[in-house]
Amino acid sequence: MARVVVDVMLKPEILDPQGRAVQGALGRLGLDGVTDVRQGKHFVIDIDGDLEGERHDLMHRLADELLSNPVIESYEMRVLADGEDAS
């Protein structure tokens, strides 16, 4: 079994209103010095079998076309070793 983790974030040049709202709330709750907050999406996908060759390439394509919007978001994908934490 393969475990794939895909983290999707807005590109740095894209305004992140949700991140700004969280940044403001953190200050109001007493956490000083927060200079930026960016929000994103975290996907953990378990797949039967190995993720090699064409299946690995397909997973990258799906992350690019389905899990993220390549116009405003970028993604990082990693395949975890057995027992590795997905956080």
Q: Which residue's entry shows tokens 């994908």?
A: 77
Separation in Å, CA 54 to CA 60, 71, 84, 86: 10, 25, 23, 23
For Cα atoms 32, 33, 38, give the angle at the middle one, nearest 5 degrees. Answer: 110
pLDDT at 52: 87
For the stretch 20-58, pLDDT in tens is: 999 999 999 999 999 999 999 999 999 998 888 899 999
Q: Which domains are delineated in the chain? A: 2-80 (3.30.1280.10)
Element of type H or E holding 60: helix 54-62
Q: Considering the entire predicted model, what is its pTM?
A: 0.84
What's the pLDDT band for 5 if we cut at 50, 70, 90?
very high
Give the residue-averaged pLDDT of 1-13: 94
Q: Strand 2-10's sheet: what is its strand order?
A: 40-47, 2-10, 73-80
pLDDT at 84: 73
